[in-house]
Copies of this chain bind each other. A is one copy, B any other.
Amino acid sequence: MEYLVMLPGPTNVPNRVMNAMLAPIINHRGDDFRQLYRSLVEKIKMTFQTQNDVILLTTSGTGAVEASVVNLIKKGDKAIVPVCGEFGSRLADLIDSWGGKAIRVTAPYGENPQYDKIEEVLDQNKDTKAIYAVYNETSTGTTIRYMDKIGQLCSSHGAFFVADAVSILGGDELPVDKWNIDICVTASQKGLAAPPGISPISISDRAKKYILSNPPSILYLNLKRYFKYYEDSFETPFTPALSLFYAFNEALDIVLEEGLDKRIGRHRTCAEAFYSGLNALGLPPFAVEEARSNVVIAAKYIDGMDDKKFRTLLAKDFRVLIAGGFGELKGKVFRIGSMGEVNKYHVTRTLASIISAMNMLGLKVNSEAASNAFEKISGIA
């Protein structure tokens, strides 16, 4: 029996998308590929809600996040980074190790940094080159709910706005142009429900102009090279992962057929069902309410729930995959990816398996509360 993949990426991939990988190999320097690439770029632009250029990298999301740093940040450049989890922290470290100066605006894990603090820090550092924000912090299940305000702030200060939307595009609002995002990074295997290995980046004209005149001393993640091939011939400079391009194209068709609004609504409904269901089981969400993610549900372990035992039971006996905690949250939380194809049956199957695994671990579950939760969930679309 196949796993139900409730990881915060990779996620369940529809058969239509898997089968698209069987398309025969073509010349990546020929018209067949150009057509495929063009079609992909158009669809991602619609998904990003942007008129900006979009480039596709054959990397995991980290590759694209790194590209957003090494193509923009030069020695000594200041970049403000809200940090409230592992991915924000890693991004700030990357900026530092590349020679920039990351200014961290922190918050306790499970919360978002206060917007006012970001504004304040920018006022104190008017020469800030960019604000880098991890829109959805997968390690804690939190989402920054003032991305639009950061965008306005950057615009008014002439700073670049870079968004790491790796784990969220397709599962929550992300109007790139409306929010003034100069560089937006995502990946194929999360909210877009394709296999992992492709990472798109959208780049505003202003960022592009800067990048073209200041290329970094690297090759594979050098965006100037991608622009050159993109504009000369609509190709990629290096051999693309063709089979994954086909799959991603099909996955984006599914996204656009459903429609962004409907898709985001479905994610919201499923996330709410998870939060109320887990609460009913006595497993409280890790994040404070106003910062809770629509796509990654982090919940706290209670006494007697051993991370390894619990997740092994879920995987081995119920074929349900969920993730553990990351970094300092290891063993303290578990995380459910509620993304991509997620629907109410994914929610009920995951929750039912969690209840049974808890019972197997000798933990009592309030059956009335659980029953109420399921009743509520069964009422959703």
Contacts and interface: CB of A to CB of B under 8 A. Distances in A.
Chain A interface category by residue count: 35 or more
Contacts of A58: 58-60, 63, 196-197, 241
A24 interface: yes
A218 B218 contact: yes
A72 to B, nearest CB: 15
A94 B22 contact: no
Contacts of A240: 60, 196-197
Interface string A167-191: 0000000000000000000010100
Contacts of A30: 315, 321
A10 B25 contact: yes
A221 interface: yes
A97 B270 CA distance: 49
B22 A217 contact: no
A11 B342 CA distance: 36
A193 to B, nearest CB: 10
Interface stretch (A12-20, A143-151, A274-282): A12-20
Interface in A1-52: 2-3, 5, 7, 9-13, 18-19, 21-22, 24-30
Given A22-B21, A62-B238, A243-B243, A220 B221 contact: yes
A195 interface: yes
A70 interface: yes
A307 interface: no
A66 to B, nearest CB: 5
Contacts of A22: 18-19, 21-22
29 contacts: A3-B27, A5-B24, A5-B26, A5-B27, A12-B25, A27-B315, A27-B323, A28-B196, A29-B323, A29-B324, A58-B58, A58-B59, A59-B59, A59-B63, A59-B220, A61-B239, A62-B239, A63-B238, A70-B218, A98-B217, A195-B241, A195-B242, A196-B240, A197-B240, A197-B241, A197-B243, A197-B244, A220-B221, A243-B243
Given A11-B25, A21-B195, A97-B218, 14 more contacts: A3-B24, A21-B21, A58-B60, A58-B63, A60-B241, A94-B219, A98-B218, A195-B242, A196-B241, A197-B240, A197-B241, A220-B221, A243-B243, A243-B244
